[in-house]
Structure 1
Amino acid sequence: MSADETLVEAIRAGLARLADPAKAPAMQAYMKSALPFRGVAKPQRSALLKQVLADHTLPDRVTFSATVLKLWRTAEFREERYAAIDLSGHRAYRRWQDPELVPVYEEMIVNGAWWDHVDELAIHRIGPILRAHRARVTPTVLAWANDSDLWRRRTAIICQVGAREDTDTDLLTRAIEPAIAEPEFFLRKGIGWALRDYAKTAPDWVRSFVDDHPGLSGLSRREALKHIG
């Protein structure tokens, strides 16, 4: 695959111009990031991406995928990874959001391995693809729910956040149940988040789920019932 090197360099150069070295250490410490930060806040980054992406149109899905992965894999600053995620969801390339992109997002989820990367990819990339292509993507999500990788498992649990009436409750149940006994915070919190979100749509279903699963951690239970009692 051949990436658009001009676009990659334009993003990197733009982030370098916006860098604020005084802010960068605190941002890195807050995110517990091995990658350093440039010190570019989200509003500045979003404005930069809007301009750069308006000036650089990617011609096909192969170039699109390759450019996202190039920016992600070769990132030297965390904002470059954020830019790769932003590029992956840009409205100009919405027509390419289908199961063929799932391996790209899976790589980013596993390699990113932290909530600031994973949650955006799970909810706003994997989730919409799942809802549009249930037959093809559901088996992958179920496999992730039973995977040894923490972030694949969290993705399986939270990828339907925001789905409302389109939530597949069988899939939600089968994504949550393998993680119920796990002590890992990000799984317990993810379970609570997924249930709390769905409780806005189906509070009775969530109450029944909690009642039927007494092994849920206190954290998961509190989060699930936070707004419904």
Structure 2
Amino acid sequence: MDNVDDFVRAVRTGLASAAEPAKAPGMRRYMKSEMPFHGVPKPARERLTRRLFADFPLPDKESFVAAARKLWREAGFREERYVAIDLTGHRLYRRWQESSLLSLYEEMIVTGAWWDYVDEVAIRRVGPLLRAEPEILEPQMRRWAVDEDHWRRRTAIICQIGAKDDIDPGLLTFAIEASIGEQDFFLRKGIGWALRQHARSDPAWVRRFVDDHPGLSPMSVREALKHVAR
């Protein structure tokens, strides 16, 4: 698959050329990342990907998935994984967004295992799949909600952020209730975030939910009711 290899090489070369080494240590510290950074700020990365996605179109779904996996699995710098996520959301490949991609996104969630990867994939990739194919994704999110892996759980909790009136309150309830007793910061924060966002559409529902679930952590409650009238 020469087109995949050419694309990946161009990404690596482009990121190396756009690197700002002085920024790399601070970016790495902020993300608590074992993987090094090139030091490419997001605006510069977006300019690069805009050009590369146009110059190296991937002809079919197989090439698209292969390119994303290669960038992800063989990344030497964190920005390569960011580009892999960017690639999966590009408009050129919107027609291939279907439930068969869930295994790719699950790999990114589980092996990425940090909020900068997981939140983008959960909300902007898994969430739209859930709304498009609920008969497949809803049972899967219920399984993830009780999974031993906390990043799968966080995904099940936050994947409906942005759904507005298309939210499935039953799934949201199930996902949150499955993790109410967990001490993990990212689960507690995710619960509060998901409820706070849903409060934009249905504040009364969120108020009732909080009142009915005294086991919610103070952090989750604080986040959930941030914009709900007392």
TM-score calculated relative to the size of structure 1: 0.98
Q: Which amino acid aligns with 1:24?
A: A
Q: State the shift of 1:20 in Å.
A: 1.1
**Paired residue secondary structure (1:85):** helix
Task: Give the percent of matched residue pairs that are identical in Structure 1 and Structure 2.
Answer: 61
Instruction: Give distance in 2, aligned partners of 1:142 and 1:119.
Output: 18
Letter paired with 1:224? A
Q: Is the 8 A contact 1:3 1:66 kept in 2?
A: no
Q: CA RMSD in A?
A: 1.0
How is 1:40-189 mapped onto 2 (pairs within 5 angstroms)?
40-189=40-189
How far, CA to CA, are the matches of 1:95 and 1:142 in structure 2? Answer: 26
Change (3 A) 1:2 1:141: farther
Amino acid at match of 1:100: S
| Inter-CA distance 51–2: structure 2 relative to 1 (3 Å threshold) | closer
Q: How does 1:16-55 map to 2 (within 5 A)?
A: 16-55=16-55
The Cα shift of 1:107 comes to: 0.3
Please state whether the residue corresponding to 2:171 is helix, strand or coil: helix
Secondary structure in 2 aligned to 1:58?
coil
Report the Cα distance in structure 1 between the residues aligned to 2:187 and 2:116, rounded to whole angstroms.
Answer: 15
Runs of 4+ more than 4 Å apart: none
Cα distance change of structure 1 residues 91 and 12 upon mapping to structure 2, 3 Å threshold: same
Unaligned runs of 5+ in 2: none
1:46, CA displacement in angstroms? 0.3
State the aligned residue count: 229
Structure-2 change in CA distance of 1:193 and 1:2 (3 Å) = farther
* SS state at 1:179 partner: coil
Whole-Å separation in 2 of the counterparts to 1:225 and 1:22 = 40
**Cα separation, 2, equivalents of 1:56 and 1:37:** 24
CA distance in 1, matches of 2:100, 2:181: 33
The answer on whether the counterparts of 1:181 and 1:215 sit within 8 Å (CA) in structure 2 is yes
1:113 CA displacement:
0.3
Q: How far off its partner does 1:180 sit?
A: 0.3
1:199 equivalent in structure 2: 199
Equivalent-residue separation in structure 2 for 1:21 and 1:193 (angstroms): 34
3-state secondary structure, aligned to 1:4: helix
SS at match of 1:40: coil
Structure 1 equivalent of residue 228 of structure 2: 228
